[in-house]
A = this chain, B = another copy of it.
Amino acid sequence: MATVTNSPWKHLLLDALQTNAHLKQSSFFQLATVGCNGKPANRTVVFRGFHEGSQKIEIYTDSRSHKVDDLKRCPYGEICWYFTDTWEQFRINGKIEMIDSFNADPLKLHLREKAWFASSLKSRMQYLGCDPGRPYIVSETPNSYRLEPTDGPVDTFCLLVLDPEQVDYLNLKGNERVVFRVNPDNPESHEWIVEKINP
């Protein structure tokens, strides 16, 4: 067991991202939440990068999606990120902050705007679509969206930021498993406790 600073797991994740970069799916992972019924929920989402160069992980979502309701009730998530070429798995859990159009902090609204413009125009268009998860009604299908490239974020665009508290790293090729935990005695220190565990 050792204690280190500077997100010791992040370089493992960056290495995995680089080695698996030729696979489109390497930027997808599964995000688990606790549903409003108290049961688990799980879906594939896209990795949108690290938040402002930190260790925090960005995800974009539609504020009308179920995961937003889940997170209002229980603001925790666990990412399961499996890299198919290198047989590495990262299980990353932590609290998720939601930054939507109602956020009162101008700095956070600015980061949300930055995220919006970092998406392709095609991705942005999705937030103008029908309420996801609601019954499909042909007559409701919007057929004349207008969204200019310079238009700012629409109300349904929501930035999620997961702040990792624990990363469970498994390497199936090397049959190794290491857990990284934020030091509970000093959570603000960015100090991580590193422990090798049985796979």
Residues of A participating in the B interface, judged by any CB pair closer than 8 Å = 1, 23-25, 28, 30-34, 38-44, 74, 76-80, 82, 84, 89, 91, 93, 129-136, 177, 195-199
Q: Is the CB of B135 within 8 A of A78?
A: no
State which of B24, B78, B134 has its C-beta within 8 Å of the C-beta of A197. B134
State which of B28, B41, B82, B195 has its C-beta within 8 Å of the C-beta of A28. B82
| Bound: A28/B28 CA distance, A | 15
| Bound: A134/B134 CA distance, A | 43
Q: Report the copy number of this chain in the oligomer.
A: 2
State which of B41, B43, B177 has its C-beta within 8 Å of the C-beta of A89. B43
How far, in Å, is A93 (CB) from chain B's closest CB?
Answer: 7
Known contacts A42-B78, A43-B89, A132-B198; can you find 13 more A-B pairs with CB under 8 A? A23-B84, A30-B30, A33-B40, A39-B93, A40-B78, A42-B80, A84-B84, A131-B198, A132-B197, A134-B197, A135-B197, A135-B198, A136-B177
